[in-house]
Amino acid sequence: MKALLKGACFLAAILMISLMGYSQSVMTGKITDSDGKPVAGVSVGIKGKSAGTTTDAAGNFRLRLNPGDTLTLSSIGFESRQIVFKKVSDLKIKLTEENKTLSDVVVTGYKSQIRAEITGAVSTIKMDKITEGQAAESFGSLLQGKVAGVNIQLNSGEPGATPAIIIRGLAAVSRGDASAISEPLYVIDGIPIISRMSSEFAVTSTNVLADLNPSDIEDVVVLKDASAAAIYGSRAANGVILITTKKGKRGKPQINLNIRTGVNFVPQLRDVAGGVKEREQVKRLYDLYAPYGISMPAMYSDVTNPFYNNSSDWQGYLYNTSVTQDYNASIRGAGDFGQYSISMGYMDSKGILFNTGFKRYSLMANTSFNALKNRLIINNTLAVSRTDQGKNPDGLSTSYSSLIPLPDNPLVKGSEVYTPGHISNLNDRVRFSSDATLNILQNLSYKASLSLEYLRAMQDSYSESRRTLRATNQSAAGENQNLLFQNTLTYTPKFGNGHSLSILLGQSMEKTEAKTTTVNSVSAAPTLSQTVNWPKGGSIGSSNYGASTLMSYFSRLDYNFQQKYLLGASIRTDGSSKFGSANRWGVFPSISAGWNFAKENLFANSDWLTNGKIRGSFGLSGTTWDNNYLALGIMDGGKLDQYNSLIQIAYGGIAGFTPTWYDGFKNDNLTWVKTSMANLGVDLTLFQGKVEFIFDAYEKLTKGLLLSTSLPTTSGYNEVYRNAADVLNQGLEFTVSTNLRFGNDFTWGSNMNFAYNKNRVVKLPDGNADIIKVSTSGQDFGSIVRVGDPLNGFFFYESQGIYQAENQIPVNPKTGKKLVGLQNKNLQVGDRNFKDQNGDYIIDVSDRVYSGDPNPKWSGGWTNDFTYRGFSLNIVSTFVVGRDIVNTDLLDRLKLGKAFAGNGSLPNFDNYSIWEKSGDNARFPTLNPWSDATQVINYDSEYIEDGSYFKIRSATLSYTFNKRFIRRLPFDRMRVYCTADNLVTFQNYSGPDAELVTIDGYDMSKGYPMRRMFLFGVSISL
């Protein structure tokens, strides 16, 4: 009531003023686009007043105006404008299309900069158009192929899987099989967020960033070089990804709905010999090779037994077409009071593999209030989300033998042997941040912000052994918290004739905590419970906690003269609790400069050069590691042994602490991984923005990567961690984009980017000793880290084909003895011919050589946008060139052990040239499963293949109903679209998909193939 009264009074006052106001009059104006065509539906308001209107179909509007009023104009697809009304002639207003200008403002570290004034390597991706037509679990996959030097690999098709995002080359070393990734820092609206749970505390395997609804993102900025990233100091060495969420815009409230449904199709799967074919293959292997007295299992010989007389397509049974649904709704608006933006999303992406899928519920509310006559701006953001990823334990496998009946076969229907089990992964995240900006003076402002992030992950699983029918339950809960308090002071004076200065001072304190609790039980009787019910005995639980704090002071200075000569410098100092008190603080400086040469008089009248800039930068940034207490010397109180004896804990009933022998002792010398990066770049804009060209060259030296080095056994310790390894990445990045218009209605925009990266290990501990990677279970899996070579190369035996004749097997001329094969095998015709590298006539470990590089040399993307009137077609392709990968999947399936029969499905041997008899021109050696030394071995260079591919990642065809085209549209705008995702792949690789490989180059198609999706949707703006 009160509000109504107030409103009425206000209206009355305006009326009075308008009656009295001699100068105020109703004005008509016309709004056109840059080509002079009228623009309908533009919101026209007056700053500080509630009056407002929208343009009609002819682009005309009527409004009462006083001279001096500020008009605010906004419309989707156009840059917002503010114009001070002076005289009638001002009311022919041109709006420029969004995303076409170079003067746009880019969010960089702790502040915004005009693009022309940026001196670092910074890329911006407007997400609006991308997310409108594509549904994705995380924004990461939508960035694929969009930014030069940002290599994004979707190496699993599982809904909710984490894509590997590497900026400017891999710079992480590990001894184990956890393929270490150099992860960038993610910052949402100025707040660094938890982007990953450290392995120690990872309860769920869902992509932590998948809880951020991509539709909420306005744009993504990638800070690639040190000058841009160094302000983020100790976490910026691998690049920084800044995410800005959508905010309300002035004008009438905008309500958006986006509804889409996709159908996921099963892509090409592994080839399998089915039914009779499998039986024949097994029989043939037995006929050829089985030693005397070994006969085929009944499963293969007993054709009459219906239980085994099947041709089950397990892949076909378990992989099925599925449906993805994605709904987004938002309301946003802004005015003098501030702005608001509320959005909700629901996504349900069913996996193509049974029992898998990903669901996301997300809500984001952002409000800003202007107080004290716009001198105080208070901003609150609340983001709540839940992701729910369903997974399969290994209860049912897609690689079962085709002779085994499918679960829907009447023979086994309802029996418990096929109980598949289930794993549920739940991530709940709440992010709350609040900040206040006080504009102390016209160009001096102070901002304080506090943010709290809480991420709870829960995993409940239930699985059952097909053999023992024992049920295993596991229940795990993890909490990750992040508390951040930031203060920044910005001073941006302009003086003299075009001198412009910007100074930033800041401080931040951050605390990150993680906690897990895990319990599990094994019960003899199958249960259906996914939680642990604590049966007597057989249960064990554990919990873990870790915390780290960071304190930082930072400053940045940017200076430019008439936007012509640019200079930037930043410095940050970080103190981290992860280091010993002696080595706690790290300093990360950077310096950069740029020259907008197009603004020189020489080019003043040039009609081809619109913009041209040369920039260079150098800086230092850092990374840390997960283990919070590594430097402190963690003590060990012992643990119960596997029989619950205290023998490792107490002696004579007295318990005490010993060092943790694996992590070494207190290590005050541990310090940051320091990365120095130099960058040189050129930006060119030609022909009024029709062609843009960006070039960057960089050198990134990562020094002191954390690596364990083993200590002499006489010290008592196993190993100690040291800042021991250095990696160098050098590269070139090219981006060419064109914005062309043909006639009145047809436009073509394209963006082609490609990046070359050369990766090289510079230093390793222990006198640069090679690191042959070994998994936690002690398995050498064939990767090597060697000084002078790219990271994680394949360390394999060099295949020279197959011995076709006895006389091909080399004989040692000194001893007259034949070359001895692996595992001391007496080599025969049909065996793999490995090169005896050291000429000692024995094939052994010392004959393994560096035989392939899994790091992509060239990567990039090519995006094309065509529009014709309301139609638009958008095609995104990505490519990788110059990468070696191992067809592990084929290798594993050809590697038949003695008990191979019945163990799983077999590939169709007809599709592979496999040696059987002399003269066979075969690629693969004899498959004799009973051979003393199998000839199908890991580390055989024959399985290394070219991993290059070109993928049409997505194609979107859409039609936009717009008031510009259809005047009677009940909405402002409506867009219908269909998108084909993962459309087609061109590759040399013989496996299913060259992208489905691990970072270190091993095929993962066994894991989860990438679905092909057709998405249909409609997006409506009210």
> What is the rounded (10 degree) CA torsion for 663, 669, 675, 676?
-160
**The residue count for the chain:** 1022
What is the closest distance, in whole angstroms, from the C-beta atom of residue 612 to another protein in the complex? 41
In the bound state with another protein, the residue whose beta carbon lies nearer, of 663 and 884, is 663
- Contact indicator for 771, 173 with CB cutoff of 8 Å: yes
| Smallest distance, another protein to C-beta of residue 672, A | 14
Looking at residue 1009, what DSSP letter applies? P
**Considering beta carbons, is residue 185 or 631 the nearer one to another protein?**
631
Least distance in angstroms from the C-beta of 584 to another protein: 6
CB of 844 to another protein, least distance (A): 15
For another protein, the closer CB: 303 or 440: 440
Smallest gap from residue 622 Cβ to another protein (A): 16
User: Residue 227 or residue 548: which is nearer to another protein going by CB?
Assistant: 548
| Integer-rounded Cα radius of gyration of the chain | 32
> What is the spatial distance between Cα 634 and Cα 1017, in angstroms, rounded to a whole number?
55
**556/1011 with CB nearer another protein:** 556
Question: Collapsing DSSP states into helix, strand and coil, what is residue 1005?
Answer: coil
Question: What is the β-pairing status of strands 944-946 and 884-886?
Answer: antiparallel
Phi, psi of 985 (to 5 degrees): -125, 130
Q: Quote the least distance from Cβ 775 to another protein, whole Å.
A: 10
Give 319 or 579: the residue with its C-beta nearer to another protein.
579
- Give me the least distance between CB of 982 and another protein, in Å please: 40
Q: What amino acid occupies position 485?
A: F
Complete DSSP assignment for 5-24: HHHHHHHHHHHHHHHH-SS-
Q: Tokens in use for 674? A: 């320091």
Q: What angle do CA 834, 835, 841 make, to 5 degrees?
A: 100
Structure tokens at 175: 């001894």
Residue 659 beta carbon to another protein: minimum distance, rounded to whole angstroms: 7
Complex with another protein: residue 175 or 283, whichever CB lies closer: 175
From the CB of 645, what's the least distance to another protein, in Å? 5
| Neighbour tally for 1019: CB within 10 Å | 22
Residue 639: CB minimum distance to another protein, A: 9
Backbone angles phi, psi at 278, to 5 degrees: -65, -45
User: What is the nearest approach in angstroms of another protein to the Cβ of residue 776?
Assistant: 8
Q: To the nearest whole angstrom, how small is the minimum distance from the Cβ of residue 422 to another protein?
A: 31
Nearer to another protein (CB atom), residue 11 or residue 845 = 845
Q: Which is nearer to another protein, 601 or 714 (CB)?
A: 714
**Residue-wise burial string across 385-414, b where 16 or more C-beta atoms lie within 10 A, e elsewhere:** bbbbbbbbbebbebbbbbbbbbbeeeeeee
Instruction: Output 273 or 822, the one with its CB closest to another protein.
Output: 822
Q: Write the CA distances from 917 to 119, 289, 921, integer angstroms.
A: 66, 12, 9
* Residue 661 vs 850, nearer CB to another protein: 661
494-495 and 471-491: which strand pairing? Answer: unpaired
Residue 668 vs 892, nearer CB to another protein: 668
φ, ψ for residue 109, nearest 5 deg: -55, 115
d(CA 623, CA 498): 38
Taking the complex as a whole, how short is the minimal distance between the CB of residue 486 and another protein, in angstroms? 10
DSSP for 307-322, please give it. TT-----HHHHHB--E
CA-to-CA distance for 163 and 153, rounded, in angstroms? 6
In DSSP terms, 993 is beta-bridged to: none
Burial of 713 (0-12, 13-18, 19+ CB in 10 A): exposed
Q: HEC states along 116-173?
A: HHCCCCEEEEECHHHHHHCCCCCHHHHCCCCCCCEEEECCCCCCCCCCEEEECCCCCC
Provide, rounded to whole angstroms, the least separation between the CB of residue 182 and another protein: 24
Q: How far is the CB of 546 from another protein (least distance, A)?
A: 7
Task: Locate 11 and state its tokens.
Answer: 């209206």
CB nearer to another protein: give 162 or 437. 437
Q: Would you state the structure tokens that stand for residue 378, as one six-digit string?
A: 């208070």
Bridge-based pairing of strands 25-32 and 92-94 is: parallel
Contact status, residue 68 vs residue 62, Cβ threshold 8 Å: no
Q: Residue 360 or 722: which CB sits closer to another protein?
A: 722
- Cβ neighbour number for residue 643 with a 10 Å cutoff: 6
Nearer to another protein, 67 or 541 (CB): 541
End-to-end CA distance of the chain: 28
Provide, rounded to whole angstroms, the least separation between the CB of residue 57 and another protein: 48
**Identity of the residue, 368 or 628, whose beta carbon is nearer to another protein in the bound complex:** 628
Specify the amino acid at residue 1017: G
